Copies of this chain bind each other. A is one copy, B any other.
């Protein structure tokens, strides 16, 4: 693992230089990199094809290959992402607040880069450009460890980005791809205390669990979403139908889609048959509690269903005796990602927003909005489901920390 150590040591060293790069240098590099992606899209697509062919030969499913494949449109999106990041204000170096102490010391909180940011991710080569762009804008050195399934694509994207970045004075080692995609390489990265300031795992539950259990460096847990919508007894039924359908079927394979629908029993006899009809029209399998089963005759849900993140055309449904039971269910089974209520009752809206423990809580809107772009952050490093440091969609600010800058005139402690 000498190579990874070498990459990390270089990244640490170079991170001090990156922290002082001017905004114009960083923005100039982002523009060059966006242009280079477009100019070299043929090369990137050729390399990507090698990965796609391997995945097909291995019999990977269609969703997997869809995430893996790069075409002209996807590469344009990657370039647009870099330009969006370029257009955002530089968060680094601004002073958040200052105050003066009785002894005359002036204390300021200055926003600074984290230092070295590591990311372990799976077969989504577009993430490569997003991560490089976000880290560069925030003056962080980036160490990327992608999956073996996307290795040719990742190498091609990094080569194109680096050829562009070096032309405008970005120091060597500002971003590096670990080309060794073995399990061992990921495990080495997880334990580089003193060299890597934060590690972000981005991918499936298995990857994230592995990082949570084995990392000794600080991490930010992302993504696992067992999300719910609660349909309150007092609500606009057509809005409830539209939001529930959107949250389940608009894109079922993503973390902010819902897995369980909770329905107030006061309206279950009217609402349940309507939603089930709409869901079945979209081929969604229903697994209901005993009460739901009685009303619509679906499969009965087991304890496992309340815990499940299906990421598929399956929905668990539970009839509850009111908002208290709904909130208790969510706080017990939810993963702290995105939770919603559809209601026209003021007090229930307030209660839900206050008492549900999740990164994002919604009143009368689809949970599908939990996303850096939708929140106006321009791009995202992932969606944090932990409470430390960053919660919800992580944009530029999540890649910064603060430093206390204290100016004195000779003060000593008594």
Contact = CB atoms under 8 A, between A and B. Distances in A.
Nearest to A398: B388
Interface stretch (A80-88, A158-166, A360-368): A360-368
Contacts of A299: none
A207 interface: no
Contacts of A277: none
Contact of A387 (B99, B114, B368): B114
Contacts of A407: 349, 362-365
Contact of A401 (B349, B365, B370, B391): B391
Given A388-B389, A391-B401, A391-B402, A364 B412 contact: no
Interface residues of A, number: 66
Given A406-B361, A412-B243, A412-B246, A197 B388 contact: yes
A406 B338 CA distance: 10
Interface in A213-257: 213, 216, 218-221, 236, 239, 242-243, 246-247, 250
A59 interface: no
Q: Is the interface of A mostly helix, strand, loop or mixed?
A: mixed
A364 B246 contact: no
Given A220-B388, A412-B250, A369 B331 contact: no
A184 interface: no
A382 interface: no
Contacts of A408: 362-366
A115 interface: yes
A309 to B, nearest CB: 15
Contact of A389 (B216, B239, B389, B410): B389
A354 interface: yes
A24 interface: no
Nearest to A213: B216
Contacts of A392: 402-404
Contacts of A359: 403-404
22 contacts: A16-B355, A19-B355, A20-B354, A101-B374, A105-B365, A107-B376, A193-B212, A197-B388, A198-B388, A218-B218, A218-B221, A218-B387, A218-B388, A239-B410, A242-B412, A243-B412, A361-B403, A364-B408, A365-B410, A366-B412, A374-B413, A391-B402
Interface of A: 16, 19-20, 99, 101, 105, 107, 114-115, 193, 197-198, 212-213, 216, 218-221, 236, 239, 242-243, 246-247, 250, 331, 349, 353-355, 357-366, 368-370, 374-376, 386-389, 391-392, 401-413
